[in-house]
Amino acid sequence: MSKKIIYESPYVTTDTVIFTIQDGVLKVLLIKRINSPFKDTPALPGVFLLKDESTREAALRALKTKAGLKMGFLEQLYTFDSRHRDPRGHTISITYFAFVREDELKIAPIKSLQSPEFYPIKKLPRLAFDHKEIIELALMRLQAKLEYTNVVYSLLPKYFAFSELQKAYEIIFGRKIDKRNFRKKFLSLGLIRPTRQILRGTRSRPAKLYEFKSRKPSALKKFF
């Protein structure tokens, strides 16, 4: 007699990692949970999937209702499916992430907000569920994408000094980069072009400003 097969129907949620650079520091968006488990503990914005809702739609809904953010581009990160990640039962989280300039992050004041706040990656508080692990993976993915895509444009203004570009890389990788080598290597990628704009009003001498030839996601022909 064959053994009866039992199929499980786990809960499905989405959690979203939003990175930005504030005051020269890489930060991630967290909210404060209002329900158990982990009540009053910082966590990534997330929700349970509704009937007939895609996971991307759910991720956008979580950002809008819990963090007051309207987002356009989100990229799927990974599926976290450990049976022990949620004390309420077997819960699968399909995660997303995005990187956005600080001036594009406008939190709408709505009643459902759960105290959204940006926290430095290097000084994260104790987090709910396995959200620390999710953030760590998202950071690794962000660092990797800087090496094979033009995605850094999403963290820079339209016109930027070369020093600002290098600083973004240093902040995300968490280390200093040789100025001369960085400049030579990045220019060889053909992603940016000089403009007629000049950065003035700083302690340093006026700097030429650059812009990306395209501000749409694309893969590099060679690794950075």
Tell me the pLDDT of the chain (224 aa) as tens digits: 678 888 888 999 999 999 999 999 999 999 999 999 999 999 999 999 999 999 999 999 999 999 999 988 899 999 999 999 999 999 999 999 999 999 999 999 899 999 999 999 999 999 999 999 999 999 999 999 999 999 999 999 999 999 999 999 999 999 999 999 999 999 998 899 999 877 765 566 678 999 999 988 888 876 66
Q: Enter the tokens of residue 2.
A: 């064959």
Q: Where are the domains of the chain?
A: 11-147, 150-212
- Does domain 150-212 match CATH 1.10.10.10? yes
Architecture per CATH, domain 11-147, reads as Alpha-Beta Complex (3.90)
